[in-house]
C-alpha cells in the first residue's frame, strides 16, 4: 500500500516568531503517525529556521519553488543546491499560483522538474484545471497537457522519484472542495494515464489532492482509492488543524 503524505504549503505567510510557535507545536504533535509522512513548505528565508527546529523530527520540509538554473546572474532565484543546503527533501513545482501569477509555463516547470531531480530533490508536481476549463469539459485535457510536458522532458521513469498533486484551481483557497468523487475521478485519470506508460510505476505513484482540505473533509477525501494524502494551504498555518488533517490521513491508512 502507498504511504500517505500530508504536505503543508505555507505560501507567503509567517515570520520568525509565528513560525517558532507553529514548528514547535508540529514537532511535538506529529509523532507516531504510522503510515503517514508529513512535510511543510515554508518561504525560502525561513528554511534555516525550519531545519533548525525540525531536524531529527518525523517532519520533512521543502521549498515552494526552485530555479531552473544551477547558478549565475539570476537575481531573486533559489537553486536546487541551495534548497539542499537546508536539507530540503521536496520542492513544489507548478503550483497554480506560480503558473497564473508568475507566468510559469508547462515547459519551464518541466525544466525545473529536471533540475530539482538532478540535484536530488523530490519534486511535487502540481496540476489542475481552472473552473472555466472544468466547465468547458476540458479538465482532463488540461491535466494531460501539464503531465505530458514533464513526461516529454523527463521521461516516465522520472516519476518514480516524484509526487503529483492534483489541485483544481477553483478549489484552492476558496473553501470550495472538489467532492471526493470528483477528486477520485481525476486521480484515477492521472494514474491510468501513467499506467499506459508503466503500470507498476503508476500503481506506486503518490498522488495528493489539494484544494480547501480541512479536518472535516480530509477523511472522506483521503479514503478514496487513488488519493494518497493532501497538499494543504490555509489549514497548514494552524498547528491543530494541520495535525488533525495528518491524523485523518492516518485513520485512512488504518482503515485501508
Ligand atoms: C494550496 O495552497 O496548495 C492549497 C491547496 O490551498 P488551500 O488548502 O488553502 O486551498
Domain boundaries, the chain: 4-255
Nearest Cα residue to atom 1 of ligand 1: 233
The closest alpha carbon to 11, from 216, 239, 172, belongs to 172
| Digit-coded pLDDT (tens) for 137-157 | 999 999 999 999 999 999 999
pTM confidence score: 0.97
166 membership: H or E segment, kind and range: strand 163-166
| Digit-coded pLDDT (tens) for 63-74 | 999 999 999 999
CA of 71 relative to ligand 1 center, distance in Å: 30
| Digit-coded pLDDT (tens) for 1-31 | 788 999 999 999 999 999 999 999 999 999 9
Q: Give the pLDDT score at 229.
A: 98
**How crowded is residue 89: how many other Cβ atoms within 10 Å of its Cβ?**
14
Q: Give the pLDDT score at 123.
A: 98
Q: Ligand 1 test: best mutation among 94, 234, 235, 242, most atoms within 8 Å of CB?
A: 234
H helix runs in the chain, sequence order: 16-29, 47-54, 80-85, 96-100, 106-119, 131-135, 139-154, 180-195, 199-204, 215-222, 239-255
Long-range CB contacts (< 8 A, 24+ apart) of 26-30?
Answer: 26/54, 26/59, 26/239, 26/242, 26/243, 27/53, 27/54, 27/57, 27/59, 29/239, 29/240, 29/243, 30/57, 30/58, 30/59, 30/243, 30/246
Give the binding-site residues of ligand 1, using a 6 Å CB cut-off.
9, 11, 167, 172-173, 210-213, 231-235
Where residue 253 falls among pLDDT bands split at 50, 70, 90?
A: confident
Nearest Cα residue to atom 8 of ligand 1: 233
Measuring CA to CA, how many Å separate 181 from each of 121, 184, 224?
A: 32, 5, 8
Q: Give the pLDDT score at 111.
A: 98
Gyration radius (Cα) of the chain, Å: 17
CATH classification for the domain delimited by 4-255, as one of 3.20.20.70, 3.40.50.800, 3.40.50.150, 3.50.50.60: 3.20.20.70
Helices 139-154 + 106-119 axis angle, to 10: 40
Percent of the chain with pLDDT over 70: 99
Closest ligand 1 atom to 212 CA: 10
| Digit-coded pLDDT (tens) for 181-238 | 999 999 999 999 999 999 999 999 999 999 999 999 999 999 999 999 999 999 999 9
Q: Ligand 1 test: best mutation among 6, 170, 210, most atoms within 8 Å of CB?
A: 210
The residues annotated as belonging to the active site are 95, 167
Cell reading at 63: 521549498
CA of 172 relative to ligand 1 center, distance in Å: 5
Amino acid at each position: 500500500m502507498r504511504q500517505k503524505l500530508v504536505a503543508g504549503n505555507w505560501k507567503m505567510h509567517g515570520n520568525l516568531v509565528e513560525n517558532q510557535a507553529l514548528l514547535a507545536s508540529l514537532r511535538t504533535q506529529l509523532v507516531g503517525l504510522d503510515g503517514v509522512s508529513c512535510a511543510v513548505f515554508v518561504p525560502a528565508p525561513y528554511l534555516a529556521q525550519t531545519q533548525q527546529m525540525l531536524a531529527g523530527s518525523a517532519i520533512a520540509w521543502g521549498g515552494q519553488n526552485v530555479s531552473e538554473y544551477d547558478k549565475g546572474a539570476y537575481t531573486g532565484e533559489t537553486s536546487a543546491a541551495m534548497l539542499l543546503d537546508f536539507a530540503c527533501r521536496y520542492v513544489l513545482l507548478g503550483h497554480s499560483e506560480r503558473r497564473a501569477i508568475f507566468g510559469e509555463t508547462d515547459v519551464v516547470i518541466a525544466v525545473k522538474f529536471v533540475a530539482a531531480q538532478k540535484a536530488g530533490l523530490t519534486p511535487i508536481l502540481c496540476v489542475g484545471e481552472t473552473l472555466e476549463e472544468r466547465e468547458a469539459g476540458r479538465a482532463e485535457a488540461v491535466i494531460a497537457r501539464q503531465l505530458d510536458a514533464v513526461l516529454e522532458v523527463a521521461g516516465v521513469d522520472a516519476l518514480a522519484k516524484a509526487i503529483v498533486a492534483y489541485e483544481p484551481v477553483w478549489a484552492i483557497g476558496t473553501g470550495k472542495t472538489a467532492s471526493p468523487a470528483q477528486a477520485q475521478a481525476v486521480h484515477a485519470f492521472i494514474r491510468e494515464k501513467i499506467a499506459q506508460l508503466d503500470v507498476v510505476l503508476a500503481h506506486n505513484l503518490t498522488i495528493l489532492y489539494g484544494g480547501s482540505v480541512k479536518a472535516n473533509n480530509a477523511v472522506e477525501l483521503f479514503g478514496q482509492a487513488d488519493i494518497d494524502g493532501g497538499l494543504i494551504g490555509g489549514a497548514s498555518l494552524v498547528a491543530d488543524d494541520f495535525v488533525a488533517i495528518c491524523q485523518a490521513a492516518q485513520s485512512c491508512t488504518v482503515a485501508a
